[in-house]
Amino acid sequence: MKKVLKLKIVVVVILFLGYSLNAQTVERVEPPFWWSGMKNTSLQLLIYGENISSLSPKIENTAVQITKVHQAKSPNYLFVDLDISYAKAGKFEILFLKGKKRKLTYHYELKARKKNTESKLGFGSSDAIYLITPDRFANANPKNDIVKGLKENKIDRNDDYARHGGDIHGITNHLDYIDDLGFTAIWSCPLLTNDMKSQSYHGYAITDYYQIDPRFGTLEDYIALSEKASKKGIKLIMDQVANHCGLEHWWMKDLPFSDWVNFQKDFEAGKPTTYSNHKRTTNQDFYASNIDKKRMSDGWFVDSMPDLNQRNPFLATYIIQNSIWWIELANLGGIRQDTYPYPDKNFMAKWAGAIMQEYPNFSIVGEEWSTNPLLVNYWQAGANNKDSYQSHLTSTMDFPMQKNIVDALKEEESWGSGLVKMYEGLANDFAYANPEKIMIFPDNHDMSRIYTQLNEDVALTQMALAYLLTLPRIPQIYYGTEILMNDTAKPGDHGLIRSDFPGGWQGDKVNAFTGDGLNSQQKEMQWFVKTLLQYRKNSKAIHQGKTKHFAPNNGIYVLSRTFENEQVILFLVKKPQILDMEYYQELNLDTVPYKNILTGKKLQFSQNFNFDKVGVYLFTSKL
């Protein structure tokens, strides 16, 4: 009897195992859904499931057509090309056949597009962007601080490199504060899942390109943030990463092709990582060696961030579709693309071109961390490059001017140092295709805080902010700059640069959102930023006016912006003095009354004007 029972058990186990081996499922389809009515009517689906390549996909009784099916090196992938030219919104079935027998059915959806989504305006010189590291801004939902199943499962606000708990709701709950300051756009560091073992708070080691990190919230939370921000006239800019992913990305355990990531053979063999040489000039250098070019674009940043190979056509399509998916779904006002010169540059042109073709009025800013204006200009659309390269990138980041501002304010005044650095830096605008579309900033999440860079000098910090907010540029300011947040204790330390915004956590003794506990200097800076931004928001002279500046003279630099009957004039004063205004007579200062934007006082310029202290003097003819 026992033998019979054992035999029955063995048979059942064998049958169960056989069923399990044959019970295929579709684990992932990416993009998870799409839209009808897009300009590009081709769609490529990445389909993932155990041994899925042994099945043949088929679509019946619908306008959606399969044009080609691609198998990968891994048997667990299929890449399916669809033609959706005549497809209407709705769900349809994808059948997976073994021979003629149906094995699986997957329901895919084409959604209806929202009205006017293709006419997105992006961001421009009339905007002011607030950069936020979400984990460090505000924790509105402590319940999602620790999510079961994720590899990093602790919160420690005493550790600069641990997660602190900030989330999407924390941003949404303080939209009034951001709006009241005068910002018109929010750029958040990446909010997608970073399921890494440690130091994943920053967001740049993405492990799922289609999922909001549950410690930040849900997809619905992100869409709600976009919608609520939009009602206040605030755009949402998404930080995206095409160059690399996180080591714990789901596909790293089962790569579809042998060239999905760079130096993949070495990675799979457990060999030491080949790192990028960071020689970004190889993108433009006519004389660059092939090995230097390869090390630059193919080398990894760090061991935990595999470098993606955008020359693989399936990965290229994947990245392009992912960007468009987020634009369409979240009604984005722009994209900031991380480490722009590091991926394959021909792919990046194709990526940006595909987005701009779908959304001609959209905006994309790329990070080129170089203080050489020639390199910054190379990446902007319209640049007259000798190699005929066209990036389709609307905006670049003004690292050259950022350095000029800091150097100019810290240096002693002389013929070749001090404020002349700003003057000559702005003179380089002749080299740029569209200088007014370049993004200028005092600091960001990767560099020392401006207050620290300027040796905690409030007057110099205000001068830096006033200058960049008056330039023909798109200004970006990092959260906390308005309250003099700093990293002076450990200059350049990333964890400290990204400190918690006071008041974002229950029990904080200082609350910058309400002003409680701020010292007088912090309150003054907050008021200063708000006053400038609120004026800037409605100033066409700053948005699109003619620019004129005068060579610095004895510690004073003058910049004017003029549009129709509005003239804005900025005096940066490093040395208090009575200034002979005859030198600036071409501005016609004595013809109309002016108002001090910061004090509200009206005045008439006399021939000799007294600038009695170091700092910012900002005037407008618009009374």
Determine the average pLDDT of the residues in 364-387: 96
Q: What is the pLDDT of residue 374?
A: 95
pLDDT at 119: 56
Domain 23-113, second-level architecture: Sandwich (2.60)
Do the beta carbons of residue 104 and residue 24 sit within 8 Å?
yes
Look at residue 607 in the predicted model and tell me its pLDDT.
Answer: 87
114 — pLDDT class (breaks 50, 70, 90) = confident
Q: Is residue 19 scored above 90 in pLDDT?
A: no
Residue 116 confidence (pLDDT):
66
Give catalytic residue positions.
338, 367
Average pLDDT over every residue of 492-513: 97
Per-residue confidence (pLDDT) for residue 42, from 0 to 100: 98
Q: Which residues lie below 8 Å from residue 498, measured CB to CB, with a gap of 6+? A: 133, 135, 136, 160, 201, 202, 445
pLDDT-derived band of residue 182, with 50, 70 and 90 as boundaries? very high
Mean predicted confidence (pLDDT) in 49-61: 96
- Residues 6+ away with beta carbon under 8 Å from 579: 556, 571, 608, 609, 610, 611
In what order do the strands lie in the sheet containing 28-30? 28-30, 42-48, 77-83, 65-71
- All residues at 6 or more sequence positions from 468 whose CB lies less than 8 Å from its CB, including other chains: 401, 405, 440, 441, 442, 475
CATH class for the domain made up of 121-251+312-539: alpha beta
Reported as a single tens digit per residue, the pLDDT across 57-101 is: 999 988 999 999 999 999 999 999 999 999 999 999 999 999 999
Average per-residue pLDDT for the chain: 95
Local confidence band at 23 (pLDDT 50, 70, 90 cut-offs) = low
- Average pLDDT, integer, range 554-572: 97
Q: Check pLDDT > 60 for residue 255.
A: yes
Q: What is the mean pLDDT of residues 258-281?
A: 97
Break the chain into its structural domains and give their ranges: 23-113, 121-251+312-539, 542-620
Q: Per-residue pLDDT averaged across 177-195, rounded?
A: 98
- pLDDT for position 118: 57
Q: What are phi and psi of 9, to 5 degrees?
A: -65, -45
Question: What is the pLDDT averaged over residues 115-141?
Answer: 89
pLDDT band at 230 (very low <50, low <70, confident <90, very high): very high
Q: Does domain 542-620 have CATH number 3.40.50.920?
A: no
Mean pLDDT for 244-270 is 98
pLDDT above 60 (res 4): no
Confidence at residue 17, expressed as pLDDT on a 0 to 100 scale: 36
Q: Assess whether pLDDT exceeds 60 at residue 22.
A: no
Mean pLDDT in residue range 20-33: 82
CA-based max dimension of the chain: 116
pLDDT confidence of 371, banded at 50, 70, 90?
Answer: very high
For residue range 455-483, list pLDDT tens digits in order: 999 999 999 999 999 999 999 999 999 99
Mean pLDDT of the 503-528 span? 98
Q: What is the pLDDT of residue 393?
A: 97
Residue 606 has a pLDDT of 87
Please check whether the two domains, 121-251+312-539 and 542-620, share a CATH topology. Answer: no
C-beta atoms surrounding 85 within 10 Å: 12
% of the chain with per-residue pLDDT over 70 = 96
Dist CA 205 CA 421 (whole Å): 37
pLDDT band at 121 (very low <50, low <70, confident <90, very high): confident
pTM of the model: 0.95
- pLDDT of amino acid 15: 37
